């Protein structure tokens, strides 16, 4: 049996390795279009590679996938985060967990992951061919004809496609021709541009627990928010961009975002806290006595926006200014105009429609003998190692070449 794996990324390597382990006698050839293997692994996680996430229950894990939640439920039963950790550790790569749950190699170097995958593939006898772009696929009797150029074609028995995401629909045309439906690709994981707003003067300010929501949608997230020199970022914003990838694309990235800097405290609760502070600190300056757990720079900025001077004492606080302050604290509105790609990690929302793929085998339901793995599928997760986890899981399963349709 000859198996071709298209794509030398995380999913392609995992699929080729899994295939050779399951079928040692098979000829497994991995074709990579560029000169470089595992290029995204190299730059991932700021060069450290956030391999997976310390989330160990499938029902919890799937919630981190805005696309693929239901599909992955079945796939994770076969290979999940625990298996990823075991897989790497049994090959000498120890992983560590950071406070927020992200897992990295203890070396803090993505090269460790690359070395592990490359040597495992080599030891098993996977043949790796770089600078080998497949430009077309034809289904033939008992297999597939891969086209590299007009004069260079090759027939294989089974095919695993792990060619990654594509920001443009044209990138999926060759797979569409085989009969697969394509969910239109749009970017996921981006930050919000808020031009012409003085909030950017707070660049670098991070709020531990804010609530962020988007007007006229049901999109809402809670967590850390970071003010940047172009707008808003941080985990809560990135999560919103991920869950709202399609809706926000439809809005052409022009929308209103609201921030409650106090996280869980609502307007009434904020009002009560201010009333209490007024009682206890009545002669003190408001700028010096902050009743909320937010950064000082943000507190001073919000006081200024509410018309409250630095010298104003609690007893001097006017009702109108107090109301403005409460509104800014719990419902600060910003006009978003455009997005910026998150520097650490970005993925494609969209790809091969999951309704055309069996989640237990990764085999195409419209083209038997063909399997998919990784970001080429309409699967993407939030930041934190979830995207690689999906690549490991789908690659591992695809490599089994299970004949179940």
Ligand X SMILES: Cc1cc2nc3c(=O)[nH]c(=O)nc-3n(C[C@H](O)[C@H](O)[C@H](O)COP(=O)(O)OP(=O)(O)OC[C@H]3O[C@@H](n4cnc5c(N)ncnc54)[C@H](O)[C@@H]3O)c2cc1C
Q: How far is the CB of 64 from ligand X (least distance, A)?
A: 10
Q: How far is the CB of 376 from ligand X (least distance, A)?
A: 6
For ligand X, the closer CB: 162 or 303:
162
Options 120-128, 207-215, 340-348, 360-368: segment touching ligand X (CB under 6 A): 340-348
Q: How far is the CB of 38 from ligand X (least distance, A)?
A: 7
Q: How far is the CB of 75 from ligand X (least distance, A)?
A: 14
Interface pattern 31-70 for ligand X (x via CB under 6 A):
xxxx----xx--xxx---xx--------------------
**Among 347, 349, 354, 357, interactor with ligand X by CB under 6 A:** 347
For ligand X, the closer CB: 7 or 244:
7
For ligand X, the closer CB: 185 or 291:
185
Options 198-206, 233-241, 273-281, 384-392: segment touching ligand X (CB under 6 A): 384-392
Backbone angles phi, psi at 216, to 5 degrees: 65, 20
Q: How many Å apart are CA 266 and CA 330, to the nearest integer? A: 6
Options 28-36, 197-205, 275-283, 324-332: segment touching ligand X (CB under 6 A): 28-36
**Which residues fall within 8 angstroms of residue 106, CB to CB, at 6 or more apart?**
94, 95, 96
* Alpha-helix runs per DSSP H in 186-343: 235-243, 245-250, 267-280, 296-305, 319-330
For ligand X, the closer CB: 120 or 277:
120
346 near ligand X, judged by CB under 6 A:
yes
Length of the chain: 405
For ligand X, the closer CB: 144 or 301:
144
Options 137-145, 224-232, 309-317, 341-349: segment touching ligand X (CB under 6 A): 341-349
* Alpha-helix runs per DSSP H in 92-165: 110-124
Q: Which residue has the tokens 């891969």?
A: 146
* Alpha-helix runs per DSSP H in 161-256: 173-176, 235-243, 245-250
- Longest CA span, the chain: 87
Find, among 167, 102, 110, the residue nearest to 341 by Cα. 167
As a dihedral over the C-alpha atoms of residue 375, residue 378, residue 383, residue 385, rounded to 10 degrees, the angle is -50
38 touches 10 (CB < 8 A): yes
For ligand X, the closer CB: 84 or 211:
84
**Among 3, 4, 5, 12, interactor with ligand X by CB under 6 A:** 12
Q: How many Å apart are CA 53 and CA 8, to the nearest integer? A: 23
9 near ligand X, judged by CB under 6 A:
yes
Beta strands in 148-219 (DSSP E): 153-156, 158-161, 182-188, 190-193, 206-214
Q: What residues line the site for ligand X (CB under 6 A)? A: 6-12, 31-34, 39-40, 43-45, 49-50, 133-134, 162-164, 344-347, 374-375, 385-388, 391
């Amino acid at each position: 049996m000859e198996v071709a794996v298209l794509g030398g990324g995380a999913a392609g390597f995992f699929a080729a390795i899994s295939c050779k382990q399951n079928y040692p006698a098979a000829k497994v050839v991995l074709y990579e279009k560029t000169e470089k293997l595992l290029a995204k692994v190299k730059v991932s996680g700021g060069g450290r590679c956030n391999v997976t996430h310390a989330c160990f229950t499938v029902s919890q894990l799937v919630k981190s996938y805005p696309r693929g939640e239901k599909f992955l439920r079945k796939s994770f039963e076969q290979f999940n985060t625990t298996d990823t950790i075991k897989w790497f550790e049994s090959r000498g790569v120890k992983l560590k967990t950071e406070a927020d749950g992200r897992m990295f190699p203890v070396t803090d170097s993505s090269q460790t992951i690359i070395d592990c995958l490359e040597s495992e593939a080599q030891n098993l006898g996977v043949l790796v061919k770089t600078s080998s772009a497949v430009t077309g696929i034809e289904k033939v009797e008992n297999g597939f004809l891969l086209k590299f150029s007009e004069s260079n074609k090759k027939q294989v028995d089974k095919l695993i496609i792990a060619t990654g995401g594509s920001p443009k629909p044209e990138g999926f045309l060759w797979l569409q021709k085989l009969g697969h439906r394509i969910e239109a690709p749009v970017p996921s994981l981006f930050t919000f541009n808020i031009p012409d707003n003085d909030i950017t003067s707070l660049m670098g300010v991070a709020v531990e627990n804010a609530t962020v929501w988007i007007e006229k949608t049901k999109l809402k997230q809670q967590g850390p928010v970071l003010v940047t020199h172009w707008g808003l970022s941080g985990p809560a914003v990135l999560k919103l961009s991920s869950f709202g990838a399609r809706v926000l694309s439809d809005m052409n990235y022009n929308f209103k975002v609201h921030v409650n800097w106090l996280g869980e405290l609502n307007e009434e609760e904020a009002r009560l806290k201010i009333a209490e502070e007024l009682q206890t600190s009545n002669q003190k300056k408001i700028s010096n006595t902050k009743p909320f757990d937010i950064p000082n720079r943000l507190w001073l900025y919000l006081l200024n926006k509410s018309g409250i001077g630095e010298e104003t004492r609690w007893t001097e606080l006017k009702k109108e200014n107090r109301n403005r302050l409460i509104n800014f604290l719990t419902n600060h509105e910003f006009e978003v105009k455009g997005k910026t790609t998150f520097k650490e990690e970005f993925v494609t929302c969209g790809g091969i429609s999951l309704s055309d793929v069996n989640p237990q085998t990764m085999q195409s339901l419209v083209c038997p003998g063909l399997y998919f793995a990784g970001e080429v599928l309409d699967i993407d997760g939030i930041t934190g190692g979830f995207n690689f986890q999906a690549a490991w899981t789908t690659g591992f399963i695809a490599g089994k070449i299970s004949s179940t349709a």
